[in-house]
Structure formats: C-alpha cells, structure tokens
Amino acid sequence: MDQKLFLGIDVSTTAAKSIAMNPAGETVAESSVSLPSFEKPHKGWAEQSPEDWFSALSESLRSLSQKINPSHVAGVGLTGQMLGLVSLGSDNTPLRPAILWNDQRSEAECEELTAEIGPEKLAQVCGSKLLPGMVLPKLRWLKRHEPEVWERTRSILLPKDYLAFRLTGEKATDVTDASGVGLLDIEQRTWSADLVAHSSVPDSWLPRVLESHEIVGKLTQEAAEMTSLPPGIPVTIGAGDQPAQAYGAGLRSAGESVLTVGTSGVYFQVLDAYTPDEEGRLHTFCYAAPDQWCAMGVMLSAAGSFQWLRDELFPEKTFAELDAAAAAVPPLSEGLLFAPYLSGERHPHTDAQVRGGFIGIDRRHGMGHFARAVMEGVSYGLRELIELLKEQGSAPESIALSGGGAVKSPVWQQILADVIGLPLVVASRSEGAALGAAMLAAKSHGHEIRNQISYVESQLETDARSQQAYEDGFARWVELYPVLREISRK
C-alpha cells in the first residue's frame, strides 16, 4: 500500500487551509486557521500582513501534522490569493503590508500605463486590460506615492510565492500567478523583455517563472520547525487560487468550465490555444497545465456581498436563517434589485469607482427580500461573465459550481441555474484550490491525479418558469451599471 501523502496549502484573504491527499486523490486530513480581516486604511484600499499569512500557514500545518504521519509526506503544493504585491527589502522582509487583489487605489496608474503601452498591445501580450488589482499598476503607484519603499525594494513576490520563499528560501512564481502581474508574455509563458524595460521595474526584482507542477525548493530546517514537518520535503510552486481550483475540479480539456462563488466570483474556462479577447474584457492567462491557457472573468464581491449583508444589516442572524428567508421570497424579490459593486468591479466593467446599491426598496421588503436580492444580483453579475465567453463562441453546455458561498445554499444554487440558463454540476467536495495544489505536488512526483467533475453532490436543471422571469430580471439589472457609474463619479 502506497503510504505517500501530498499536502496542499491554500492561503486566501480569510484563512490558511491545508489538506493531506493520498495518491488515489482522497483527502485523508485537513486543517484551517482563520486570518485577521484585511485592512482598509482608505477608501478602495485592501492590505494584509504577509507575516499573518505565514503564521496561519504554520499553525494550520502543525495541526495537520497531528492528524497524519509527517514522515509519509512526499511533497507540498501551494496556492493562494492572486495578484497581491509583496515588496521585499535587502534583508528579504516585507517593507509594507501586501497590497491585495481587491485593492482599487491604482486606477490612475492603469490609465497612464495603458496610454503609454497601448491597449491593443496589452490585450495581445498580457491577455487582459491593466486593472487596479494587477501588480504592475500597484508598482507604479508605489513608486509615485511611497518612493521610500520603492527605493528600498529589492524583489517582489506574489502571496503564495512569498510563502514558498518562507518555506524554501527560494524566490519563484508560476505561470498562472505571473499572468496577473502585467509583465508576462502570456503566449510565451515568460517575462516580456519589452514590457519590463518600459515599466521601469528592474528585472532583478522579478522572480523566475516556473510551470505550476515544478519544484521551487525543499523545506528548510527553520520552516520544518515552524510547521512540524520533516526538513527536505520538496515544495511545488503550485498555482494561483482560481487555476488551482479548476485543476482540483478536474478541468483538463478545452471548454470545461467552473463557476466559483467565494469572496469574489470567478467564471473559468480552459483553452487549448492562446486566444485573448481583443478588448481585454476578460483575463486570458496561463493555465496550471503546460501548453494550456484559460479565460477568466472576475467579479469582486460575490459571496462577499452576502457576508456583508449578514455582518452589517442582520448580524444577529445566521446564514442558514437568511437562506431560509430568501427561499420564502419569489423570484425577482418583488422588484428589489441589488448591484454588487461593493469594491468597484473588474469584469466586464473595469471600474474602481462604481459602487453598488439596493434599488426599488418598498415598505413590504423584509430580510428575505434583501437576502434573495443579493443572491440574484450576484448571479446576474456572474451571468455577464459567461455572456462574454458566448460572444467568443465558447458557450458551455453545463458548468461546475464550486466555492464556499453558493455551494452551501440550495436556494442560491437554483437561482444561479435559472439566471444563467444552464445545468449546474455541484461539487461534493470543499477542498477546492488546496486539492488542486496537492494534485500539482503529486504531479511533480509523477502521479497524474484527476478528480473528475463527476464527484458531484447534485446536478441542477433550470426551472422553465423561473428562467423566463430571470430573463426579464437580467434585462432590467444590466441597466443599473451605467446609472450607478454616473452617480458614483459625482
């Protein structure tokens, strides 16, 4: 019997999660440690301490090691939140809190860099518009607004890559995470010398780029003591959370797709060729499998909108109570609409300034209406992402549903199926990105593990009557953005 174990580590904005997987693809143990909420020192800002990440990661692995035989661990794979900027000084310690994926401060720098480089070139080389969440505009912002940090910076890393450095002492990134920097030639899967030269970012700051299954280094003695694992374990660089989530869900072939409803919402589809949208309305990034790419549309506040609703408006209620109240309300929430632009928006509206709202509030509207309106508004926004892929001729026949938000709510699952108008395959497992990281670690050792999308809890068909109602609701909902855009700017 093969006693090997492969660990997958996922550090998001909310928690550090670790799992242990055997060569059959079965999860045998897991552990999760919560992170402090990210800081919002100014409007549109989002920052987090890299030391908090490593502390939570270490605690999670110590807990996991008590549930397994650590000597059986053959490899460790990493994943985590994408697009965060960690600036390191000459002593390799962070010079400031990390600037996160949902930070919107660098909108002016995006416009400036886009004008300098050209939108067509950016879309073709980087596979996307430059967005405030990406790393390059954050670096331009840093140079302009915190020159003392810029001058002291000697290297930059993304969140999971900082953790790889803390575990191994080696600096590297993978092709999926590097895709969100704004300096990668996505088709060639390497840094673009032209864009790096133009950006004024020293090339010495950039980590080497690996494929997602490649080993970055081995667990150091210091890291071993922090994590209760044996030193010398090979560490696989892994992938950003969304590509790792898709990899863990078994996506390997072109056209396979997954909808993830976490803090943010992501529609993800595998591509066999690099075919970026000419207007950069989606991310076209490298995938975690060599010679494959992916189209990815992101909305910034998905399940995060529902978390906000509970925390700020109904703090005394549980999520289950909100779910039950939403179930008692008919489709369209009796005219109440919700626009989920709590932190601006990324796709399809690249807009850091727009803010959301409830529209059409009536005296008859209660908790259930507000809860259902949030579910419907987020679902409409996710449908917008899928519509972009349909425009490019990539219409899926069904979609796998993953993530923590909607997956736990049968009400929200059915709303998504009816709004999108396609059957949804609901994943029966919750390991998500951590599972993908463990699979990539296994691949480093010659074990090709694929948990098919067939590991399903249920398959939801659309309800014809509700689907027709939501066609009308979607047509009304899409009219909100232009109005809210103007109000937000005033």
Q: pLDDT digit string (tens) for 50-109?
A: 999 999 999 999 999 999 999 999 999 999 999 999 999 999 999 999 999 989 899 999
Q: State the Cα angle at 160 between 157 and 163, rounded to 5°.
A: 85
194 Cβ contact partners less than 8 Å away, ≥ 6 residues apart: 125
Q: Do the domains 5-244 and 299-428+458-489 sit in the same CATH topology, yes or no? A: yes
Alpha-carbon distance of 482 to 348, in angstroms, equals 12
Q: Kindly report the backbone phi and psi dihedral angles of residue 354, in degrees, each rounded to the nearest multiple of 5, phi listed first.
A: -60, 145
pLDDT confidence tier of residue 404, bands split at 50, 70 and 90: low
* Residue 352: pLDDT band with limits 50, 70, 90: confident
Least confident among 135-139, 300-304, 380-384, 391-395? 391-395
Q: What does the pLDDT read at residue 2?
A: 66
Which range, of 53-57, 127-131, 213-217, averages the lowest pLDDT? Answer: 127-131
Contacts of 112 (CB under 8 A, 6+ apart): 140
Q: What 3-state DSSP class applies to 317?
A: coil
CB neighbours of 124 closer than 8 A, spacing ≥ 6? 276
- Contact present, 198 and 190 (Cβ < 8 Å): no
Strand pairing partners for 401? 259, 426
pLDDT at residue 68 in the model: 97
Q: How many CA atoms lie within 13 A of 192 on its CB side?
A: 22
> Which CATH fold topology does 299-428+458-489 show?
Nucleotidyltransferase; domain 5 (3.30.420)
Q: Is the pLDDT of residue 453 over 70?
A: no
For the chain, give every domain's residue range: 5-244, 299-428+458-489
- Catalytic residues, which ones? 241
The per-residue pLDDT of the chain, averaged, comes to 92
pLDDT at 454: 41
The pTM assigned to this predicted structure is: 0.84
Q: For domain 5-244, give the CATH superfamily.
A: ATPase, nucleotide binding domain (3.30.420.40)
